[in-house]
Amino acid sequence: MERKDFETWLDNISVTFLSLTDLQKNETLDHLISLSGAVQLRHLSNNLETLLKRDFLKLLPLELSFYLLKWLDPQTLLTCCLVSKQWNKVISACTEVWQTACKNLGWQIDDSVQDALHWKKVYLKAILRMKQLEDHEAFETSSLIGHSARVYALYYKDGLLCTVFSVDYNDELDVLVSGSADFTVKVWALSAGTCLNTLTGHTEWVTKVVLQKCKVKSLLHSPGDYILLSADKYEIKIWPIGREINCKCLKTLSVSEDRSICLQPRLHFDGKYIVCSSALGLYQWDFASYDILRVIKTPEIANLALLGFGDIFALLFDNRYLYIMDLRTESLISRWPLPEYRKSKRGSSFLAGEASWLNGLDGHNDTGLVFATSMPDHSIHLVLWKEHG
């Protein structure tokens, strides 16, 4: 058939085909397929794949593609990245998806980062670290050797590990505070080394002192005020500390009037919340109202002691393991075995290291010291973050 005659015939049959019902169109196609040879069937197969498998990420506007991608979980998105270079480019640039995935893993988000591909890389780093935590492989151990006698107390601040007992200090105030076995708290002039005041009221050995700037307002204090917390076996006392060194106790907190219920010798205070552990659970107070916000219980493991507490994670331990708790679910997500360390009832022979990661990991703050404790051989056992794989 000549080309011109073929085109006329094709136009006529097309008009007729369009006038058929769907059922008639299907029967017509079935008949044509039955008459086709291998060349025609191959041609049909190639063109149908192109027509039916439309690349929506390539065809849709970028904003609409991002909206659709938000409905997929991160692991599915990582699989989708393998489809093609175009898919990988679009999916990797979907910042909101990867930021949300990082937040769900307890990762801190810096919104100032403008690199579109940054957050997928952060997620991959985050998922690796969380997998290490889940598999109890995120840490490594080391030792400090050099003491010739028993190490009774450890103190860590600003990257320095010292062997002193129950102290805290503030350079701006030029003040150091210390707890004592004589049930007192002493306030010292840091530069002069002289005692400015002795605070009384405790009925037990003061095992922990924390000096921190207040971040909330109440009837008793304002944001920016310096606050001293001191804890013994049963109570936590709150003191205002300034250049005038006021010695009047503002408030006394406890978890029970039953003297058989003791506070664990650890205390957390960040200017907004007070946290302490006991046999009844982990207690969190609101510093503005002094109300108990929540009590976290871990029925599967009793008598966990507090090492550190943040917005996302808490660091806990018992006689056998170091634990990480996800505070959003109040579940233990990782543990690390501990050696037979010296079990100090005063809580002075063990401590947490860097604590910023407790407010959320960011890929940079999961380095350095996690935990330290003195050992029977006079050494200091260290638990450190393992480098990213």
**Nearby residues of 220 by Cβ (< 8 Å), 6 or more positions away:** 240, 250, 251
- For 234-252, the DSSP string reads S-EEEEEESTT------EE
Q: Rounded CA gap, 174 and 169, in Å?
A: 8
Q: Which two tokens stand for residue 219?
A: 């009837």
Q: Which two tokens stand for residue 179?
A: 């707890």
What integer pLDDT is reported at residue 190 of this predicted model? 79
Yes or no: say if 349 and 374 are a contact pair by the CB < 8 Å rule.
yes
**Nearby residues of 107 by Cβ (< 8 Å), 6 or more positions away:** 122, 123, 126, 360, 361, 362, 363
Coil vs helix vs strand at 80 = helix
Helices (H), 180-258: none
What integer pLDDT is reported at residue 215 of this predicted model? 93
Judging by beta carbons within 10 Å of its beta carbon (0-12, 13-18, 19+), is residue 332 exposed, middle or buried?
middle
Low-confidence ranges of the chain (pLDDT < 70): 147-163, 165, 243-246, 299-300, 302, 341-348, 388-389
**Nearby residues of 214 by Cβ (< 8 Å), 6 or more positions away:** 221, 222, 223, 224, 225, 226, 227, 271, 287
Q: Rounded CA gap, 172 and 296, in Å?
A: 35
What integer pLDDT is reported at residue 228 of this predicted model? 93
Rounded to the nearest 5°, which phi and psi values hold at 295?
Answer: -125, 115
What integer pLDDT is reported at residue 389 of this predicted model? 52
Q: Rounded CA gap, 278 and 258, in Å?
A: 12
| Beta sheet of 369-374, edge-to-edge order | 139-144, 380-385, 369-374, 350-352
What integer pLDDT is reported at residue 162 of this predicted model? 57
Helix axes 95-104, 118-134, angle to 10 degrees: 20
> How does pLDDT run across 24-82, given as a tens digit for each residue?
999 999 999 999 999 998 888 888 877 777 777 888 888 898 898 999 999 999 999 99
Q: Rounded CA gap, 351 and 353, in Å?
A: 7
Q: How far is CA 59 from CA 46, 54, 90, 354, in A?
A: 20, 8, 12, 48
What integer pLDDT is reported at residue 363 of this predicted model? 86
Specify whether the backbone of 245 is left (phi greater than 0), alpha (psi in -120 to 50) or beta.
left
Question: Rounded to the nearest 10 degrees, how much is the dihedral formed by the CA atoms of 293, 298, 303, 304?
Answer: -80
> How does pLDDT run across 240-274, given as a tens digit for each residue?
987 555 578 999 999 888 888 888 878 899 999 99
Specify whether the backbone of 138 is left (phi greater than 0), alpha (psi in -120 to 50) or beta.
alpha
pTM of the model: 0.77
| Beta sheet of 167-170, edge-to-edge order | 167-170, 175-179, 185-189, 195-199
